Amino acid sequence: MSGYKDWKYCDESLPDIFWGLSYDDGPGQYTPGILDWLSSSLSLGTYTTFFVIGSRIQDNPDILRRAYDDGHQIAIHTWSHPHLTTLTNEQIVAEIVYGAKAIYQVTGVVPKYFRPPYGDVDDRVRAIVKALGLNMVIWAVDSTDSAAGATAASIEAVVQSWMKQDIRRAISLQHDLFQVAAQVAPQTLKTLIDNGRAAKPIYECLNKPKSDIYAISPLQAFLTSGQDGLGGNPASSDRPTSGSATPTSSSSSSSSSSSSTTSSPTSNLTSSSGTSAAVSTSTKPITTLPTSAAGRKTTSILAAFALF
């Protein structure tokens, strides 16, 4: 889409040693281990970006709060990790707004950075994300740490291959949801540092000031205005309910989550293709929003942004 960029590499004006470090799909039980290591002297003061799933924040609010308090960048990764191009406009808005709302409820801030699950975007998705005032962040290289059968050795081999190819200014995809991914995170960062890369959170990789992370955007203004109609926590009648997925890992290296399937926040609505959209989950079931939350309330959201 003209005038709007999917960021996959760091800004070209920066030194080529810059590297965008990011973790997807938390917060989860293995996130604290990564936070512990990043807060140690061994990480050499490295900060990262966590693209978080709204529904997982419900089970792990303290973990999200710690990541934020530790100074790491928090960014939006939807409510339940669907393929956005399979959803209706209303469903896409619901995914992003409810994901952002979950972050806001815990941290008091609304991120300006967004990563679409699976990197699945088209111009329709871009138009919505742009209208919400968000920066779209994809990735240039995938660690494959969410792939079925991934091991510490296989992940490290992928990272070493980046160095052998002399890839620079890349934004890399990693995860804090899986045990093996968390275990290999220190070695991955060590490999980057040993090869002269300067691992940075995404906003630094894009040459933006720290004030840009949670800067005013249409989405931020909407959620903080008290006029969003979503309630403080959301209202009990719209409170999410548990799905029934079982944990597995993804077999696709281009995925930024695992491949178990449950329903999306708008599962009672149909996608633009006329079918319900599948959602990926892992160590815990993704939760769902009822039709009243996904349908009725997004009508007012769409009107507020005059998107369509």
pLDDT digits (tens, 9 = 90+) for 105-129: 999 999 999 999 999 999 999 999 9
Tell whether the model's pLDDT for residue 293 goes beyond 60. no
Q: Return the half-sphere exposure (C-beta side, CA atoms, 13 A cut-off) of residue 31.
A: 31
Tell whether the model's pLDDT for residue 152 goes beyond 80. yes
Nearest-angstrom CA–CA distance, 264 and 118 = 15
Weakest-pLDDT range from 15-19, 112-116, 243-247: 243-247
Residue 113 identity (one-letter amino acid) = Y
Burial label for 144, CB within 10 Å (0-12, 13-18, 19+), is: buried
175 carries an active-site annotation = yes
Percent of the chain at pLDDT above 90?
69
Quote the pLDDT of residue 298.
Answer: 53
**Which helix H or strand E contains 74, and what residues bound it?**
strand 73-76
77 carries an active-site annotation = no
Q: What's the whole-number average pLDDT of the chain?
A: 81
Q: Which of 145, 175, 228, 238 is catalytic?
A: 175
Weakest-pLDDT range from 115-124, 239-248, 283-292: 239-248
Enumerate residues 6+ apart whose C-beta is below 8 A from 66. 32, 35
Nearest-angstrom CA–CA distance, 28 and 54 = 12
Quote the pLDDT of residue 81.
Answer: 96
Enumerate residues 6+ apart whose C-beta is below 8 A from 306. none
pLDDT digits (tens, 9 = 90+) for 259-276: 333 333 333 222 233 322
Of the pLDDT bands very low, low, confident and very high (cuts 50, 70, 90), residue 4 is confident
pLDDT digits (tens, 9 = 90+) for 41-94: 878 899 999 999 999 999 999 999 999 999 999 999 999 999 999 999 999 999
Strand ranges inside 147-209, DSSP E:
171-175, 198-200
Q: Where are the alpha helices (DSSP H) in the chain?
A: 31-38, 54-57, 61-69, 89-107, 123-131, 152-164, 179-194, 202-205, 218-224, 291, 297-305
DSSP 99: H
Smallest CA-to-CA distance from 153 within 189, 183, 196, 197 is with 183
Average pLDDT over residues 164-170: 98
pLDDT digits (tens, 9 = 90+) for 177-194: 999 999 999 999 999 999
pTM score over 0.85:
no
Of the pLDDT bands very low, low, confident and very high (cuts 50, 70, 90), residue 30 is very high
CB atoms within 10 A of CB 128: 21
Nearest-angstrom CA–CA distance, 138 and 75 = 12
Q: Which backbone phi and psi does 215 adopt, to 5 degrees? A: -65, 160
Percent of the chain at pLDDT above 70?
73
Quote the pLDDT of residue 142.
Answer: 97
Quote the pLDDT of residue 225.
Answer: 84
Quote the pLDDT of residue 199.
Answer: 96
